[in-house]
Amino acid sequence: MRKIQWSFYLLTVLLIISCQKQHHLQNGIWRGELDVADNKKAPFLFEVNNAGTDAASVTLLNGVERVQLDSIYFQSDTLIIPITAYDAYIKGTISGDIIEGRFIKNYIENDPGVPFHAISGVKERFSSVENIPDTPIDGKWDVLFIGEKEDTTRNVGVFKSENDMVTGSILTNSGDLRFLEGVYTESGVNLSAFGGLSPYLIEILFSGDSTFNGKFYTTRGVTKIVGTRNDYAELADPYSLAKLKPGSGSLGFNLPNLEGQHISLKDERYQGKVVVVSILGSWCPNCLDEMDFLAPWYDENKERGVEIIGIAFERKNDFDYAKTALTRLKNRYGANYEILFGGEVGRESVANALPELENFSGYPTTLFVDKKGKVRKIHTGFNGPATGLFYEEFKNDFNLLIDSLLSE
């Protein structure tokens, strides 16, 4: 009987140890992969800190970008990594130094998720090669996305290489592709990024000193890209894309803030002030970059007679859902200005909330309103910190425009 008891005790201890191993998340650098189109994998790096404590967190690493994901936890034997900014999460099971699971978006009903795999201790996003091409990727490139529909819109690739790492981004008139990171291959460059919303993979093949062909992979599909070196590459003027309809000069919106109170430009708070109106969404990475700039800027400049209003369009036409997402957004960036709910994301909702606006084409779109309530300029898109000099130029132009409107 005693042998049976000891055997039972030993089996129980082994089961407990086994369960503990399943729950053991190792601190340090991990290499993750998410499935994208054509059976490709988009690799990314992340760092685990304070594993095994209530303060456990994961930080996504893309170039100089750091995206911290807090409140990770276990649900039975399943690891859950919430990505609250994008209403998504990663779940997986741990076996030694391997995690197998899925990346799931909460806002998609019954989302099957994207397969996810990670291994601890691997610090290389891509494998490096000994023989790299003679063609450097550094500099500016005109980039075309070749899809099913013919599109001659020129985008701008901005890249630099240092030691064994290549970083950069591709700018479009609606925003940029965030912080891309990668390496040279024997015939080109591989780049990827994952900041919590969508994994990107870009494979570039040089076809001479000044041209390349490549493919841009997401979970939705593959797009061919063509690049031509151009030191003077630039986007279309972002102030020339959207405009007000003929006969319109001001904005007549009257929309609820997060407390349910309706706000308009006729409110006393905005009278006689310069007002920046940002059309955004909590799901939009470039909108988050813009808020990261606007929130501290507002605190530093509001006493000068300037206000900001955000008008958000969310994944669901549901005030309670929007309130949760936008309150979280405001708290994350410390935005001390009003955020209004405009409805469900889409051009129809924007047209209903802002009927004066014409040629709306992307989030964010930012309108500059003078002291008399007249819209003076409209800026489409936002190219953030990943774009280097383009971001610095935007900040300079933004401040010059505000100074000019305040001086009137």
Domain boundaries, the chain: 2-120, 139-229, 243-407
- With 90 as the cut, is the pLDDT of residue 12 above it? no
Closest CA to 364 of 384, 344, 348, 390: 384
- 389 pLDDT band, cuts 50/70/90, is confident
Whether residue 136 is preceded by a cis peptide bond, meaning omega within 30 degrees of 0, is no
Give the model's pLDDT for residue 112: 95
Specify the CATH number for 243-407; select among 3.40.30.10, 3.50.50.60, 3.40.50.300, 1.10.10.10.
Answer: 3.40.30.10
Beta strand extents in 96-136 (DSSP E only): 98-105, 114-120
pLDDT score at 326: 96
144, amino acid identity: L
Q: Give the CATH number of domain 139-229; options: 1.10.260.40, 3.90.1150.10, 1.20.1070.10, 2.40.128.120.
A: 2.40.128.120
Name the residue type at position 97: D
Q: How far apart are CA 119 and CA 358, in angstroms?
A: 49
Residue corresponding to tokens 């003929």: 246
Nearest to 95 by CA among 114, 119, 73: 119
Write down the pLDDT at residue 147. Answer: 76
Lowest mean pLDDT among 74-78, 186-190, 251-255, 277-281: 74-78
**Fold match flag (2-120 vs 139-229):** yes
In tens, the pLDDT along 279-327 reads 999 999 999 999 999 999 999 999 999 999 999 999 999 999 999 999 9
- Please enumerate in sequence order all residues whose Cβ is within 8 A of that of 359, keeping only pairs 6 or more positions apart, or say none: 241, 242, 243
Query: Residue 388 — pLDDT band, cuts 50, 70, 90?
Result: confident
User: Are residues 305 and 277 in contact, defined by beta-carbon separation less than 8 angstroms?
Assistant: no
Determine the pLDDT at residue 121.
95
Cα distances (Å, whole numbers) of residue 81 to 16, 23, 48, 117, 205: 23, 13, 11, 13, 35
What is residue 26's DSSP assignment?
Answer: P
Question: What class has domain 2-120?
Answer: mainly beta
CA distances from 229 to 60, 97, 139, 151, 163 (A): 31, 42, 8, 19, 21
**The whole model's pTM is what?**
0.87
Tokens representing 114?
Answer: 């994207």
Q: Using CB atoms within 10 Å of the CB of residue 333, give its burial: 0 to 12 exposed, 13 to 18 middle, 19+ buried.
A: middle
Position 15 pLDDT exceeds 60? no
| Separation CA 306–CA 311 (nearest Å) | 17
pLDDT in tens, 86-99: 999 999 999 999 99
User: How far is CA 136 from each of CA 122, 127, 185, 386, rounded to the nearest angstrom?
Assistant: 26, 18, 11, 19
Local confidence band at 5 (pLDDT 50, 70, 90 cut-offs): low
Helix axes 285-301, 319-333, angle to 10 degrees: 60
Q: Give me the amino acid identity at 82.
A: P
CA–centroid distance for 223 within its chain: 19
How far apart are the C-alpha atoms of 65 and 167, rounded to whole Å?
11
The percent helix, strand, coil of the chain (3-state, each to 5) is: 25, 40, 35
